[in-house]
Structure 1
């Protein structure tokens, strides 16, 4: 397992510790290193909040973004996407990362076997089933619907659902930092959340104006060091 290489100016700027999430994808075909490389590269870039994919994407803590070597190390070690083609190895990884919040993606066939073993684990944040037959997989998935956020057929739908869920989680991390007066951490988490929401809009060909407006208001509140009238729950 890769270890975290934090960006450290002081503890407040240790961006490798701002969030505690990791994405895990289990698929007998996609999980093999030689398969679907472009697809996996796309998912890794879109869901990685430390990536800057366009000129309009900005982060609050700009000095971190100016150090290319530190940024690359962080992108490869934190907030990453892990791929597996073996259910036992995947399960071992999940159990070994009890300190992480896991966004889990699985094929229908492998999900049917592994979801019953993991859905009650506290580190499971969300489960996504990427399959070719939703009606068939819905039969077994009904027992675990509380944790299954989406069942999708198309890769674009999976990308949008996963990206939005991570954005919402980063927003919740920012809310927690605001409650503890850690405004720099809050600003970064909110900025990352906005970045991912805008990517979800772009790749999902949809509009999320209310979500984007809400996170922009939270960024402004963090910049002024004060909570707005909105509810940070």
Structure 2
């Protein structure tokens, strides 16, 4: 099984995504989901087996914010080899998510960040299997961080299957770090817990 090249986060929002806007929030999200471990280089054989093109562990999950659908689509194309998490406003989500779900199967998780969730349930319910909605940045960040931790656990499980316990442990350690960060934001029981070993 190809593990991919790690996670990436694309955030489409006309206001938040505009250059110069919401710098503190963008920095917070990048800091929260970025890698915390200084890891040795990946063995070339492991890289070939797992399908790695670059060392994603050194950067964690970069958060790329943009303000237009066209720019978001360009980022999606750029990150087609990554495990993409897609955040967007509800207004733009209504336009782009139906298209993305059909055209980009590598995007498995969509997050809507909006002021009033109930105003957007009419279209969002069609995507309930892959879409989550949030009206507060702390809850969004906690969920995103947990979901990226789940991805790292999955990578760790695959490394265990390859009998590469060192790499598996690195993934599990990073997943634990992300889980702890998520819990610090909103508490350990606020965001649904997942049995990562079964992920």
| Bin for the TM-score computed over the shorter chain | 0.7 to 0.9
Which whole-Å deviations, capped at 9, do the CAs of 1:141-194 have from their partners, x for residues lacking one? 11111110x201011111111111111111111111111112122111111100
User: How many correspondences in the alignment?
Assistant: 180
Question: Which one of the candidate residues 176, 182, 201 is aligned to 2:158?
Answer: 176
What aligned pairs does 1:88-99 form with structure 2 within 5 A after superposition? 88-99=70-81
Q: CA RMSD in A?
A: 2.6
**Alpha-carbon distance between aligned partners in 2 of 1:99 and 1:140, rounded to the nearest angstrom:** 28
How far apart are residue 232 of structure 1 and its match? 5.1
> Alpha carbons of 1:45 and 1:36: their partners in 2 closer, same or farther (altered >3 Å)?
same
Gaps of 5+ in 2: 42-54
- Structure (1 or 2) with the larger CA radius of gyration: 1
How far apart are residue 123 of structure 1 and its match? 1.1
**Alpha-carbon distance between aligned partners in 2 of 1:142 and 1:199, rounded to the nearest angstrom:** 30
Gaps of 5+ in 1: 1-16, 52-58, 65-70, 216-230
Match status 1:128 vs 2:128: no
Which whole-Å deviations, capped at 9, do the CAs of 1:66-92 have from their partners, x for residues lacking one? xxxxx9xx43xx521111101111012
Match status 1:139 vs 2:122: yes
TM superposition score normalised by structure 2:
0.81
**Alpha-carbon distance between aligned partners in 1 of 2:38 and 2:28, rounded to the nearest angstrom:** 24
> Alpha carbons of 1:101 and 1:18: their partners in 2 closer, same or farther (altered >3 Å)?
closer
> Could you say what secondary structure the match of 1:105 adopts?
strand
TM superposition score normalised by structure 1:
0.70
Question: Which one of the candidate residues 30, 41, 64 is aligned to 2:16?
Answer: 30
What aligned pairs does 1:131-170 form with structure 2 within 5 A after superposition? 131-148=114-131, 150-170=132-152
